[in-house]
Chain A
């Protein structure tokens, strides 16, 4: 099915909400067209193209909730999705932690779409792989890599008047270059929403240089060392670390952010004062959607670690009032 524009998506949301007989109705539509190419041993191994648009409907009768999803968009199918969600909701036990849908939100659009990225085709993907393979062969290295690009949209709506629609593009590339004797190896990763900021030659050259320079690498004894991490390595740590910034887990005593005797370590200085981490949906380098898809709340620029102090934890809508703080 083709990707939906804002008017088409809004019309579908209105139809879905109109069909619902439940106390409330929430709608999420995701669409994407994803192309990829994978190569190894200096040759393409697999390549493919997937396209899908999916509607997810969640309804509630009191504190009984049901969820349904489908990828057909005629009126009959839309009504079927609503009825199925309602059937599941009627069968579900009450969830004491259920919270009603939020009220209308103001979303400030972020620049997540790029036309040039949306125009990527199989020839372009083959060209990306070719740059890496050819450069690898020239250096007597074996390369393996993966390039994937997505063009898509997300729409959210609920029966309290929330509506948001945003289109997006993104691409990612990883490549591993190895010497034929297995002594040297290098890896690179790149991601962008604008293909003009991606250079397959530059990225491949980084993996190749690492492979060539690591041939004489020596084993280190365990111990304390000063370590310099490239951004790719730091981002791996950050990504895993913030999965543990859930306030409820901390308050319940099952997190490294739990405080002895109860409560959490929000506000404590746990890191070096040079450490500052924030989330910003409008960051020009890494824009993301200006809403949280689950809660449908508008996002704000948020400090997470400020001058080494824990500046915020992840509070769900249920846990925030219990803890006396904002979501």
Chain B
């Protein structure tokens, strides 16, 4: 079943920053010249790199555009944005997966176990609050497990979100073994016949071996309690982070086999280009994007809607 209803308007407005700064510039660029030339491509390079697309991915996009300009004899600058839209759409397509993402709960698996991981300060707990709210609104019984036992007041923070979402939270005292909390949460969810369990974990830098080992242990313990769990490992990424994002995706995937990504803080940043870098270099689907601070500001990531939203001219621009 598909839990998240798509509110396209919100999706679009959340991406307004990315669209205005990144693609607004492309529009300007296109208007400034009449033919596609080296200088224009160099400016395009600047626009892409400045949006955190990354050097490697930018080169792939530019090379493809150059080849097509040559082979298909494009000349007029207005065709540049068409070409760019094509290339970006293709990059995201190569990423595979269904056109609309989000989480689909198979009917046969109860409880469905979601483990949430990420580095410090990316918005894991907030994302869990929003996820729980979404599941709850869809009429599902949700349990959240407070397995961030390291950070001061992490429990309190999650508790407030749990209350807002109207779901139950399982916790132990600060400093407790996070794997034990995860185990307890899952046991409790099974006993209560919950539909979904979301396990929060402490933020950790992907370079800390001992902390990554701790994460592996949490995952092992979940699998022990319920073979096959966790069914989804969500890695939360901060959209304002630069190329280190790729490193985070790689390291967390090596440790706990990440199955989906959540990109937060997309409303505040002028970027979002990192989505392209992820698609180009790694094959993990983006499940959700966070576009605001409200509890319903977590949106399923829709590749087509994303590309369209980026290229649609904003209200302030003349058509």
Are A and B subunits of one complex? no
Where the two chains meet, the residues of A that have a C-beta atom closer than 8 Å to any C-beta of B are none
